[in-house]
Amino acid sequence: MTDRIWRFFTSLRLTVVLLGLGILLVFFGTIAQVHEGLWNAQTRWFRHLIVTRQMGDPWWVPPIFPGGYIIGIFLLLNLVAAHLKRFSLSSKKIGINLTHFGIILLLAGQLVTDMFSRESIMNFREGETRTFSEATREWELVFTRAIDDQRDEVVAIPDALLQDGAELRDAKLPFTVRVKTYWMNSEPSFRAPMQQNGPPLTDQGIARDWDFKMSPEAKGMDDRNNPTALIEIVGAKGEQLGTWVASSWAADSALVAGVKNAYTRSVGKDVAESIASKLTAPQELDVNGQKWHFAMRPERYYKDFSLTLLKTTHDVYPGTDIPKDFRSRVLLKSPGTGESREVDIYMNAPLRFGGLTFYQSTMGKDEVQQDVGRSGLQVVRNPGWLTPYAGCLIVSVGMVWQFLYHLTGFIRKRRAPLAAAAA
């Protein structure tokens, strides 16, 4: 059995089959972007072990097809196994070995990047300090409880667990969260006095003043889903503690500002502010004497250092809207290393600190205080960021070595008859 597995993984036929499947996968995955959008197509075809046919797929989608993970991992195993089987340390093989090692490094690096890299956004306005960045696509339902004047205990439930009917428990929570409905994307509408004809989603919290309904899933790279969950809180003894709405619309300053602006146009500033404030009203549970707030917010990644946005600079070429220079001056404070320094982050000059890279991403004015600058830094964590450079370098060295080795052999062979003739 082991012998057969070994032969399977060291087979060059497997390499050819996998490369062929890889070509087909790239083709399918590229065409699928037309219907599924870039993000969804990439996730479905390249970030899964197996791709299965779904309702609504075009006719050409096969019932089952190996995904990017399985093809990549099998290629990696195939390459490593072939090397283990055929490796020999000689000057003749050094080039080939180096080339193959470089390719292994590229494959492994891509896997590491895909599994462990993370992109997020640190969004703040001038004067604000941030110790966390936020995901651009992933959301979390968080329950927070004050443990002292400065700190909160946080229990975060990733959106991947928020499935209809799911019952979610955590040792820190004195209740169970039952997901009645989860909409990956949603739209809010204000329950204006005397306007609404149907009952609210629930008679608790923000749902008394705001309705939410499901929206089609956002598929574009620049589009974002705004989820809403209808959750039921159940006490430790099974008692019902109410049904609530947790919506991303209530916890994102940009979304709230958008809602406020939309209503300002139709009903004026004061009423719009009143309407928007009913969306952001805190929602609180009082269970066994503990007060828990909850919210649906972008998934957060906390750092052990802080950045304070000191100043934003946004210059454009005179007479145009074309950006000339936009940069953020931040104060970096790291209690762990004792660092406290000011850094300018601008195009092609990111801040690298703590295994993270901070790139200047967005810039504008604060939605609330228009005279205050706001900046968005893209925060990238990629433990495998060096592997493509190292892999390509090693492949290049290996190919050059192999070329030169054969070239010198060829020249030597050509010289030998000439030398013999001269003798």
19/84 with CB nearer other proteins: 84
Q: Which one of residues 273, 315, 325, 339 is an interface residue with other proteins (CB under 8 A)?
A: 273
Q: What are the CB-based long-range contacts (under 8 Å, 24+) for 353-358?
A: 353/305, 354/303, 354/304, 354/305, 355/381, 355/383, 356/303, 356/380, 356/381, 357/381, 357/382, 357/385, 358/122, 358/307
- Quick one: CA torsion of 373, 374, 376, 377, rounded to 10 degrees? 50
Dist. CA 101–CA 283, nearest whole Å? 56
For residues 152 to 181, the per-residue mask of contacts with other proteins, x marking binding by CB under 8 A and - elsewhere, is xxxxxxx-xx------x-x-x---------
97/350 with CB nearer other proteins: 97
Q: What single-letter amino acid sits at 165?
A: G
Q: CA nearest 246: which of 215, 191, 202?
A: 202
298-357 binders of other proteins (CB under 8 A): 300, 302
Residue 393 makes contact with other proteins by CB under 8 A:
no
Give the tokens for residue 405: 């080795």
Give the tokens for residue 113: 């990047």
Judged on CB neighbours under 10 Å (0-12, 13-18, 19+), 210 is buried
Dist. CA 391–CA 158, nearest whole Å? 35
104-133 binders of other proteins (CB under 8 A): 111, 115, 128, 131-132
Phi and psi at residue 42, to the nearest 5°: -60, -45
Q: Which one of residues 13, 151, 412, 413 is an interface residue with other proteins (CB under 8 A)?
A: 151
212-251 binders of other proteins (CB under 8 A): 241-242, 251
30-89 binders of other proteins (CB under 8 A): 49, 69, 73, 76-77, 80-81, 84-88
Dist. CA 143–CA 284, nearest whole Å? 9
Smallest gap from residue 170 Cβ to other proteins (A): 5
41/79 with CB nearer other proteins: 79
129-148 binders of other proteins (CB under 8 A): 131-132, 144, 146-147
152/164 with CB nearer other proteins: 152
Strands (E), 58-113: 64-66
278-297 binders of other proteins (CB under 8 A): 278, 280-282, 284-287
Smallest gap from residue 50 Cβ to other proteins (A): 12
Smallest gap from residue 421 Cβ to other proteins (A): 31
267/343 with CB nearer other proteins: 267
User: What angle do the packed helices 68-86 and 2-9 form, to 10 degrees?
Assistant: 100
Smallest gap from residue 359 Cβ to other proteins (A): 21
271/316 with CB nearer other proteins: 271
196/396 with CB nearer other proteins: 196
Query: Which helix (H) or strand (E) segment is 413 a member of?
Result: helix 387-422
36/299 with CB nearer other proteins: 299
The CB-side HSE value for 281 (13 A sphere, CA atoms) comes to 16
Dist. CA 50–CA 289, nearest whole Å? 48
Dist. CA 129–CA 310, nearest whole Å? 9
Smallest gap from residue 194 Cβ to other proteins (A): 4
Smallest gap from residue 58 Cβ to other proteins (A): 28
For residues 252 to 271, the per-residue mask of contacts with other proteins, x marking binding by CB under 8 A and - elsewhere, is -x--x---------xxx-xx
Size of the site for other proteins (CB under 8 A): 83
356-385 binders of other proteins (CB under 8 A): 366-369
